[in-house]
Every structure is written in C-alpha cells, then in structure tokens.
Chains A and B, each alone.
Chain A
C-alpha cells in the first residue's frame, strides 16, 4: 500500500537542492519520509498548513507555503487529505540582503 507513496517520495528527493521529503495525513501523522528529515516534523507541518488554510477558506486551490532561513527552505503544501513537506538547501547562500 505504501509503495506508491515511497515511489513519490523517492522521486521528490532526487529533485534539485532537495534534502528530504515527508508526507503527513490529516491527523499530522507521518505516512512516509525520505532523505534527511525528521518524521516528527509531520505534526508541525500539518499545523502550519491548517493555519494557512484559515487565511482564505473559500479558496479551493491549496496554498504552497515556503519558509526561508538563509540557504534553507521548507516547502509545505496541503493536497486534500495529505500534506507534503519538503526540505531544500541551496549550495550557496542566496539571501536577499547581500547587496
């Protein structure tokens, strides 16, 4: 049953700059994780996507949330029952305050 999820996760972690990926269910429980990511992040990731869903409750297309910290990014997207969390890290620091 998890084969499909594992396949999708493996596909995600092979993407450019991706460090780890995780899928969470509606209860914030981790359905699967690949790469360098803590499975416990599923709960907080789910809470963040639920909080953002309150911002525009009438919007049917879910938002993509991206948290930036230096050269690291955490991308969260809710799609129906499942929330995806992806950690990304670029090789060079690309902060906007460089110039």
Chain B
C-alpha cells in the first residue's frame, strides 16, 4: 500500500506542482496525473485576470471545484500549487441537491468547507510566515 501524504482526512488524491506546472508530488486518484495537472494550470492562467474591479489580478488564493460526490481544492502558496481531491460522503458532509436547475444551485451551494481551510493551516509556508524575525 502506498504511503501517500495525507493532507486532510477525507482526501482521495493530491498533487503538488511547481509554479511552472511541473509535478513535484502526487498520490491517490491523482497519482502521476499530468493531464489533470495541465488542465489545472490552464485554469490558473485563466483565473489570473477575471475582473480587476472585483478581484485584483492574481489575487485568487484558493479555487474549489465542486462535484456531486467529490471536490477539488486548489491552493497557491510559496510558488507551489497544492491540489487535493476530497471525497464528500465520508465525514457526513451531505451531498448538495444539484438535481434541479441553476437557480436552485445558487441557493444550495455550500462552500467554505472545513476540509480546505485545514489544508491551508497545515501548509508549512503559512505557519512559518508568522514567525518572521524583526
């Protein structure tokens, strides 16, 4: 059995990329998944400049991609890109009712999931940045 890096409890795959898109580490469902890595790099390039008036360019710090039974969370930190694929059904996170039209999904959609925030907390870059010497 692979000893994959476990970033969060309900993780089913992960990818760590360099800012140029090179795969540094991978595991689980995303093991050696360069195809997904390339698609996500393309997505990051697109998200760099959405709307300067709403989000300043390159200010997007996290992206989540939510499917019915799983989700991806993408974080950028310290010139690295962390991608975690999470399973929704394990820790009681109720699957959203996305069976109806788009109008319902706007009211039902539930982001700010705890799993992804703990991902940032475990990120070594964010914890060391608070201990900068004067």
Q: Which residues from chain A sit less than 8 Å from chain B, CB to CB?
A: 8, 11-12, 15, 19, 21, 36-38, 40-41, 44-45, 47-48, 51-52, 54-56, 59, 61, 63-70, 72-75, 77, 79, 82, 84, 86-87, 94-97, 99
Q: A55-B65, A66-B63, A66-B64 are in contact. List 13 more A-B contacts (CB 8 A).
A: A12-B103, A41-B50, A44-B49, A44-B51, A55-B39, A55-B40, A65-B64, A65-B65, A68-B62, A77-B102, A77-B106, A77-B109, A82-B102
B117 CB contacts on chain A under 8 angstroms: 96
Encoded as 1 (CB less than 8 Å from any A CB) or 0, chain B from 56 to 98 comes to: 1001111111111000100000000000000000000000001
Q: Which residues from chain B sit less than 8 Å from chain A, CB to CB?
A: 36, 39-40, 42-43, 46-47, 49-51, 53-56, 59-68, 72, 98, 101-103, 105-107, 109, 111-112, 116-117, 120-121, 126
B57 CB, min distance to chain A CBs, angstroms: 10
Q: Is the beta-carbon distance between B111 and A73 smaller than 8 angstroms?
A: yes
Partner pick for A64 among B43, B61, B66, B107, CB 8 A cutoff = B66
Q: With A48-B47, A79-B102 in contact, is A74–B65 under 8 Å at CB? A: no
CB closest chain-A residue, reference B58? A69
C-alpha spacing A94/B39, complex, angstroms: 28
Chain B contact residues: over half helix, strand or loop, or mixed? mixed
Q: With A61-B67, A77-B105 in contact, is A69–B43 under 8 Å at CB? A: no
CB closest chain-A residue, reference B119? A96
C-alpha spacing A41/B109, complex, angstroms: 21
**Would you list 11 pairs from A and B whose C-beta atoms are within 8 A, ordered by A residue?**
A41-B50, A48-B46, A55-B39, A64-B66, A64-B109, A65-B65, A66-B64, A74-B51, A82-B102, A87-B54, A95-B61
Q: Is the beta-carbon distance between B101 and A79 smaller than 8 angstroms?
A: yes
Q: Is the beta-carbon distance between B102 and A72 smaller than 8 angstroms?
A: no
CB closest chain-B residue, reference A82? B102
